[in-house]
Chains A and B, each alone.
Chain A
């Protein structure tokens, strides 16, 4: 079965022999490769290139200028915002590592009790959108009215506050509590691969559990810790909701809120683009540093299928480990969720739990009276689902082509697919706005633009997921099918696809979840009828009505949980881990 007959009969006869011989070996996959490059250029390269070009253009005329950079960095307030963002990223990432690494170690390596609960907490923190947990923490730790501080004063009789959420450390804490699952997932899956023999060797040489962990297990997963740290750093500097909700009252300006200011009248996309450039350099720089840090050492710990993995017996210490997990869980999920739920059923949240304060009016308003609430829920579901599907399909094809080395320069494709990883969501959105909002594309405010932005933004997640899935399928299975006469695409469809199905579903779910809570990439792109739940939540947060806001957050969580529930049924409880 040759693939060539795609060409019309008459035309095929007309071409010289040599060319037709070449066409006979032509695989449709080559066309696919060209199409993929085009799509990647459209999704990733063009918006970024446009951003770079725009940063050198004069508003209105388009003439070359360097003035945008002068405007963007000519005021100390703007530079301060950049410095604040960097410090915020470093502090949050450090906090997240401190929270997550002991948890990952305890779950992966020890006999700590209630591991299922820890899992639930990690999943919960992953699902909870950052701006919701920010609101939750305002209710918990407002210096005068937060429940935590009220309790603190009541118990100790102190005057001051225990925690002030409206502070730099408060903001960093909230971000860390929201992003530690990323570190957890990375470190846990790396630890799962370290065999107990390594620790045994250390034990035999006289090291205790603590020393073995410190000197053997943790250094082996150092790359995973660094990767987690960088991801949280990137998350933290790209966040928009949390700085707007906590940062403004705390009087801390960061990059994202500053970028927002450049969109005030007159809209200065050019200055915003110039302002975003150093951010791109810094994130790219971090990746380079990571490569250098890890380059000269070996971290291979898995050798074939050998290697036994036994949980370490912690004795009474296992309760300390559990206590740590429980404390993080309480702070990250249970406490903020509890106060949000309380507020969502309250007439006035400040009055606390009381029968005469109980109402369903907030939910009623959103479900039956609010003009946009239900539409935005539907928007969120189908935007995220479509974006996840596009991202996973695209990633699968790229991963396949790159891993099977079907084309020259496949690595370049892989690089493009991973590039959005280092681009803060808000910068991506500005790139999309600059590239596709105006005619000739005229996609501003359309569902298409938002879906494409989501797909591009989360392509790296899908790509990492697909790569590991494809790597797990040995090429010889496909080769068997091809020997039996199957074409490449047919072999993929009948052999490879069924084998990677579960892993891909897991990847799809992760992209769906992160897309459904995405705010910064959406906020510059939505139109009146294409607002997502996250954007509407942000609008609600401006209205100063925390009760309705909390109720809407409740609905958002309900929607996500439905999908997570379905996902767990289909893929298994640990779908988040399947990427490795």
Chain B
């Protein structure tokens, strides 16, 4: 019993010791702008990242990669769904207690709103020059920058539904034969589901969801919840699931297969930003550099997420972006639409 406590203390102390020892070596091979920020960030000591974009495993890996690259600046990873991350941020603000240094959400509407309210810090990461041109300049005023490029589509359990019978489009899922077989996340929690609901409403009207309700989908919270549900065989078709988490599950031997719906896939091109009251502004900027640089892209591709830079190869087995139709509501549609669909969702589904 006492051995457990000792080991725990040991784990903690070695962690601290390693952090202290290797920072000089790390600073050597950094470009000048990073080294400068790193120096300042080390005095702040930590950065708190509200991470709503990458899944828990990937977020933790990003935090570790950051710690390795910048010893002495500890990254506090606070992973949750995007709506919950935003809720935490609002709660912090309401209490006048700034906690968050970098905020990442799949609901881009959060950023236009925060920007308009004057709650974001202007910063352009130098490393952003090396990002894919299409996603490089998300905000002309440099209040937020792309840190996530995620595709959300459908997936099915191959043991329960043979490929030939699987739904091929978003509307196929409305067919009565999928009653009690579907799984989906919740727009009150997941940012991506909110954006997806806005897109579906734009294409088919709210009627899409009243018809979906008749098929009694199992509602989780995160957009990744259907992956778990499908792995277990609890349900057989998942709606609006992230490619990354699904591909990771497939690589572990789960019987899933991705479906690229005919109408196109939901492309979440989502940013990160520094709140204007961030307690560790230099560390926050350093983290923004890290996200725009190769560090993030190389880390996230290992768990099957799209890199943000052309100099990092795409994850194995994914379909090239050029071959896919991408659906994305505008930033304005996201900001205005997500709160609306969230309320409508609760009226339609009861939760």
Contacts and interface: CB of A to CB of B under 8 A. Distances in A.
Contacts of A282: none
B231 A348 contact: yes
Contact of B188 (A264, A370, A529): A264
Contacts of B350: 77, 251-253
Interface string A245-271: 001110111000100010111110100
A253 B234 CA distance: 22
Contacts of B79: 539, 543
B76 A524 contact: no
Nearest to A546: B228
Interface residues of B, number: 61
B86 A542 contact: no
A445 to B, nearest CB: 6
Contact of A257 (B55, B57, B351): B351
Nearest to B5: A562
A13 interface: no
Contacts of B91: 263, 267, 433, 524
A267 B81 contact: no
B313 to A, nearest CB: 24
B234 A143 contact: yes
Contacts of A253: 346, 350-351
A544 B225 contact: yes
Contacts of B225: 544
B87 interface: yes
B116 interface: no
A335 to B, nearest CB: 17
A512 interface: no
B95 A368 contact: no
Contact of B80 (A269, A445, A539): A539
Contacts of A531: 78
B219 interface: yes
A377 interface: yes
Interface string B50-78: 00000111001001100000000001111
A448 B225 CA distance: 34
Find the residue from A247, A374, A558 having the highest chain B CB count within 10 A. A374
A377 B79 CA distance: 17
Contacts of B63: 371
B203 interface: no
B96 interface: yes
A377 B78 CA distance: 16
B94 interface: yes
B311 interface: no
Nearest to B79: A539
A563 B11 CA distance: 21
Contact of B11 (A374, A529, A545): A374
Nearest to A562: B1
Interface in B164-221: 186, 188-189, 218-221
B282 interface: no
B148 to A, nearest CB: 16
B83 interface: yes
Given A249-B218, A367-B11, A539-B80, A544 B347 contact: no
A482 interface: no
A57 B306 CA distance: 47
Nearest to B15: A374
A542 B189 contact: yes
A369 B1 contact: no
Contacts of B224: 543-544
A414 interface: no
Contacts of B305: none
Contacts of A475: none
A220 interface: no
Interface residues of A, number: 61
B235 interface: yes
B234 A251 contact: no
Interface in B74-130: 75-81, 83-84, 86-87, 90-92, 94-97, 99-100
B120 to A, nearest CB: 15
B99 A348 contact: no
A561 B88 CA distance: 32
Given A371-B75, A371-B77, A267 B97 contact: no
Interface in A524-571: 524, 527-529, 531, 539-540, 542-546, 548, 558, 562, 565-566
B246 to A, nearest CB: 11
Contacts of A540: 56
A558 B7 CA distance: 14
A543 B55 contact: yes
A171 to B, nearest CB: 12
Nearest to A244: B221
Given A244-B221, A248-B220, A249-B219, A377 B8 contact: yes
A353 B241 CA distance: 27
B252 interface: yes
Contact of B234 (A77, A145, A267): A145
B99 A528 contact: yes
Interface string B217-255: 011111011111001111100000000010001001110
A445 B78 CA distance: 13
A437 B94 CA distance: 9
Interface string A367-384: 111111011011000000
Nearest to B218: A249
A442 interface: yes
B12 interface: yes
Contact of A545 (B56, B87, B226): B56
B297 interface: no
A330 B114 CA distance: 51
Contacts of A251: 219, 349-351
A543 B346 contact: no
B97 A263 contact: no
Contacts of B83: 264
A144 B234 contact: yes
Contacts of B188: 261, 264
A116 to B, nearest CB: 21
A383 B80 CA distance: 23
Contacts of A439: 96
Contact of A370 (B60, B80, B100): B60
A371 B56 CA distance: 11
B48 to A, nearest CB: 4
B284 to A, nearest CB: 13
Given A247-B351, A367-B11, 11 more contacts: A142-B234, A264-B87, A264-B188, A265-B90, A267-B91, A349-B231, A372-B77, A437-B95, A542-B84, A542-B221, A548-B57
8 contacts: A248-B186, A264-B342, A265-B86, A348-B249, A350-B233, A371-B75, A437-B94, A542-B84
Interface of B: 1, 4, 8, 11-12, 48, 55-57, 60, 63-64, 75-81, 83-84, 86-87, 90-92, 94-97, 99-100, 186, 188-189, 218-222, 224-228, 231-235, 245, 249, 252-254, 342, 346-347, 349-351
